[in-house]
A and B are shown apart, each in its own frame.
Chain A
Amino acid sequence: MALKKRKRKSAGIDKNFGREHTETKMQLSGNSAQSEFFTGTLMDLRRGDAAILNRIDLPVDDARRLMELGFLPGTRITAGFSAPGGDPQVFQVDGSEIALRRETAKKLEVTIDHVTRNRKPRP
């Protein structure tokens, strides 16, 4: 019971970071000649792709753990190597490399701003 209740409560960290985030976005969109932006989750990133974190859709404690590891809203995240099959995937964030499972990665909403060329479509 207690677990279920906590699950619904997600960290509202994007509010604190709203302004900074918007600034980042505007700055980036002024420079959009070579790539287009789209929002998605970390799960959509392939190796070499980069994105700006918008929001963590996880319970407060889990979101905090991720933030301590560098997954702060407004931070740039680059996708790195992955286990065979693409899950879990390593992400370069704030000077470290952290592996996340797909189930966690899809809870991290991002604005994708750099996509590597010759990208293969998701199977």
Chain B
Amino acid sequence: MSGCKDCSNCGSAAVIEFPKSATLPQAVAVIGPPNSGKTTLFNQLTGLRQKVANFPGVTVEQHTGVAELPDGRAVRLIDLPGVYSLVPRSEDEQVSYDVLTGARADTPKPEAILLVLDATNLGRHLMLAAPILALGVPTLVILNMADDLRGRGGKIDVRALSAELGAPVALIAARSGEGIGQVFDFLAGVMPKPAPKSLPVLQDVPKCRAWASQVGNEANYRAPLPPKWTRRLDSVLLHPVLGPVIFVAVVVLVFQTMFTYVNPLMDGVKWLFAVSGNWLATALPAGLIRDLLVNGVWKGVGSVVVFLPQVLLLFLFIGLLEDSGYLARAALIADRTMAKVGLQGKSFIPLLSAYACAVPAILATRTIENKRDRMATILVAPFMTCSARLPVYALIVASFIPNRNLVPGVLSTQTAAMLGLYLLGFLAAVVTARVLKSSILKSGRTPFLLEMPSYRWPTWQSIGLRLLDRSKVFLRRAGTVILLVTVLLWAASNVPFTHGHPPQIVDSVAGTIGRTIEPVIKPLGFNWKIGIGLLTSLAARETIVATLGFIYGKNPESDQLGLQQALQHDLTLGGAFALLVFFAFAMQCISTIAVVRRETGGWKWPILQFTYMSVLAYVGAFIANHLIG
């Protein structure tokens, strides 16, 4: 306060220093255009105290978090989706507009706004300030990337800009935390209502842009030089020849890591579960409860948690690619190829993620603005060979395909079979995309627009938070859906009791169900035991491995055999191939169905998708069984 004597005429536009207020705002909205560093700031302010959900009824993600002020008080922050304007056209803009105006019943009307703009591109980003300030809510205009602005020779008079906008302005660098104290001061202080001199007609983009230029001029804004390093890197990464080579190298590296280098980690997790399972078995008294815990719960959950390293590694890669800015270049390079099957460059990353898991892949389709392209990407994503299919493929391939060298040292028959299965899923996706885009999802009216952000170093904080978030989602799935299924299966195979003893698996409820559906799956070469596996794998594909292990372990005929021998005993070669094809095509994943329902806003699409994929799986398996068997 005292330092402000020299500018008695600045009035309400005094920069940042306010008397401390006793009442804190209940909710503060964070908004800004895409690539303004909004999420980085949100992470800086909230750290681990944040959670992700969906705004009810729409497909827009809602990030909320709590910012702890230096004096110990707390403020609730809502991170709104990145938008270029507040004209409610897309769903993102509609949600942002509704939240800011208090039109959503589920979210309290924010009492203050943090408007995050990229200081290096202020001319264009200031356009968003007009509709935000027009709301009349106390607003802090945050000019992010101050370090970049300085480094590239740009400048801005923060005080003049504040006077021009009639709102406090803070020049910060969210990545390094520079100037972040000003944001805390704003959150802790009394916030003056903005009193802008004159705002442009909001509907008129050229006039808004002219207003932004004029405000920038008044504040002596000098735009920085073009980012030198970005141009240099692009001349290599978007080189007509080198560019695609690097692109392929990156994709190969991601795959190689996910499927080869990660093995020791996965073996480690497996070992942990085996050791702790054995310990549990010796620590507990023999009986039903021990059986449930060791054979039901621990084995079931363990079979899923094994994939955690793989999923985390994939998200580490995606996080690095996205935060560094390469992802946009990858989408650019992939666009032409994706366009051939009716999709677009932005579909590439979701489809690549689908190789780890369809759930995050479907969430990642949010970056696709074109609704029809997005829908098509969602519908084909489950065809990509996700990591849940791996243990099933691995088991069957190891049991039925003798390991011989095709190309010594490079390719064995088993590797070739695995690659063939990847190709099968990929082809199914391509054909389906083509069919969809030339029928029910025809036309791509919305133009393809892709902003190329400057290259930046990813921060460990943002990558770490993302990985933590994904682990939570993944483990919650393992802890709920799969746990429930294994417990149900365990229960169904232990009733009804005869003479006070659990029944033979054939006579149990599970066995009866399996034998009931046997006629339907017989043409595919499957018996009732595989049938039970197929039913449990409706929840999640990988549960079939645990289920079969469980059933064979209970069956006196086969309990002495390993799982592989038991399978060889039960399936013909045709049946084995049929099972592989079935798993390549079928949509056996409750989580995916749930996320598709959420993202498409109804049951129509998930039902269509499930039916289509099941029919394809059945027909494919039937053909495989009869061709080979």
Measuring CB to CB, which residues of chain A are less than 8 angstroms from any residue of chain B?
A: 3, 7, 13, 16-17, 58-59, 61-62, 64-70, 72-73, 80-85, 87-88, 90, 92, 94-101, 103-104, 107
Contact = CB atoms under 8 A, between A and B. Distances in A.
Contact of B205 (A58, A67, A82, A85): A67
Contacts of A67: 205-206, 209
B84 A87 contact: no
B206 A13 contact: yes
B361 interface: no
Interface size class of B (residues with CB under 8 A): 35 or more
Contacts of B451: 69, 96-99
A65 B89 CA distance: 10
Contacts of B62: none
B332 to A, nearest CB: 5
Nearest to A82: B238
Contact of B335 (A16, A62, A64, A83): A83
B447 interface: yes
The 8 closest A-B pairs by CB, nearest first: A104-B447, A97-B452, A81-B238, A67-B205, A99-B450, A68-B84, A95-B121, A101-B448
Given A95-B124, A104-B447, A83 B206 contact: no
Contact of B449 (A7, A16, A100): A100
Contacts of A59: 445
B511 interface: no
Nearest to B120: A95
Interface of B: 84-85, 87, 89, 120-121, 123-124, 127, 204-206, 209, 223, 226, 234-235, 238, 240-241, 243-244, 328, 332-333, 335-336, 339, 345, 443, 445-452
Main secondary structure of the interface of A (DSSP, over half): mixed
Contacts of A80: 234
B240 A65 contact: no
Contact of A101 (B223, B226, B335, B452): B335
Contacts of B452: 90, 96-99
B448 A100 contact: yes
Contact of B209 (A65, A72, A97, A100): A72
Contacts of B124: 69-70, 94-96
Given A83-B333, A95-B223, A97-B452, 6 more contacts: A64-B205, A81-B234, A84-B243, A84-B336, A98-B452, A101-B339
A30 to B, nearest CB: 24
A100 B238 contact: no
Contact of A98 (B206, B234, B446, B449): B449
A100 B447 contact: yes
A97 B244 CA distance: 20
Given A88-B448, A98-B449, A83 B89 contact: no
Nearest to A89: B332
A73 B448 contact: no
A2 B226 CA distance: 42
Contacts of B445: 3, 7, 59, 62
A120 B425 CA distance: 42
Contacts of B121: 94-96
Given A13-B206, A68-B84, A68-B205, A62 B336 contact: no
A62 B446 contact: yes
7 contacts: A65-B447, A82-B332, A83-B335, A88-B335, A95-B124, A99-B448, A100-B448
B438 to A, nearest CB: 16
